[in-house]
Amino acid sequence: MGKDTSRAGSGRTDVVDWRGSSRINKAAVQSMNRRRFLRQVMLYSSGLSLSLPLFRIPESLAFNASVPDVVRVSGEDYAALVKKTVELLGSMSRFVKPGYKVVVKPNIGWDRKPEQAANTHPQVVTTLVELALEAGADEVKVFDYTCNEKRRCYNNSGMTEAIKSIGSKKAKLVHVDQRKFVPVKIAKGRSLKEWDIYKDALTADCYINVPVAKHHGLSRLTLGLKNSMGVIGGRRGALHHDLGQNLADLATVITPQLTIIDATRILTNNGPQGGSIEDVRRLDTLIGSVDPVAVDALATTLFDLRPEDISSTVAAHQMGLGQMDPAKMNIISGSV
Partner 1 sequence: MEQVSQSAFYRWLRKGRIVSQAFFFLLFVFLFVKTDYTGSDSIEYAVNILFRIDPLLALSTMLAVKTIIILMLPALLIVVLSLVSGRSFCGWLCPMGGLLDGWRRLFGRARKNEATRFPSLPAIMLIFILISAIFGVPLAGYLDPFSILVRGLSQAIYPGLNEVTVSFFTFTYQHLPEALNRIVEPVYSLLRYTILPFEQKFYQFGLVSLFVLGLVVAAEYVQQRFFCRNICPLGALLGWCSRVGMLAMSGGDESCGACRHCARICRMGAIDEQRKIDAETCVLCLDCFEQCPRQIISFAGVLPISRGAGTSLSRRRFLTTASASLVLPTVLGVRTLNVQADPLLIRPPGALAEPEFLNRCVRCGQCMQVCITNGLQPVMLRAGIEGMFSPYLVARTGYCEFNCTLCGQVCPTGALQVLGMAEKHQFKIGHAWFDKNLSALCQGYPLHRL
Closer of 31 and 235 to partner 1 (Cβ): 235
Q: Rounded to an integer, what distance in angstroms lies between the CA atom of residue 178 and that of residue 175?
A: 9
Task: Decide whether 112 or 317 has the Cβ nearer to partner 1.
Answer: 112
Nearer to partner 1, 111 or 279 (CB): 111
Catalog residues that contact partner 1 under the rule CB under 8 A: 38, 41-42, 45, 50, 52, 111, 148-152, 154-155, 160, 178-180, 217-218, 237-238, 240-241
Cα separation of 332 and 72, whole Å? 6
In the complex, the smallest distance separating the C-beta of residue 228 from partner 1, rounded to whole angstroms, is: 19
Contact 136, 175 (CB under 8 A): no
Nearer to partner 1, 23 or 175 (CB): 175
Minimum Å distance from CB 161 to partner 1? 11
The nearest distance, CB 334 to partner 1, in angstroms, is 37
| Dmax (CA) of the chain | 59
Which of 160/168 has CB closer to partner 1? 160
Torsion of CA 110, 120, 273, 156, to 10 degrees: -40
Distances in whole angstroms, Cα of residue 283 to Cα of each of 50, 77, 101, 174, 280: 51, 12, 32, 29, 10
Cβ nearer to partner 1, comparing 81 with 221: 221
Shortest reach from residue 222's CB to partner 1, in Å: 15
Q: What share of the chain is helix, strand, coil (3-state, %, to 5)?
A: 40, 20, 40
- Least CB distance to partner 1 at residue 37 (A): 10
Residue 268 has phi, psi (to 5 degrees) of: -95, -10
For 275-299, b/e burial (b = at least 16 CB within 10 A) is: beeebbeebbbbbbbbbbbbbbbbb
Least Å from the CB of residue 118 to partner 1: 13
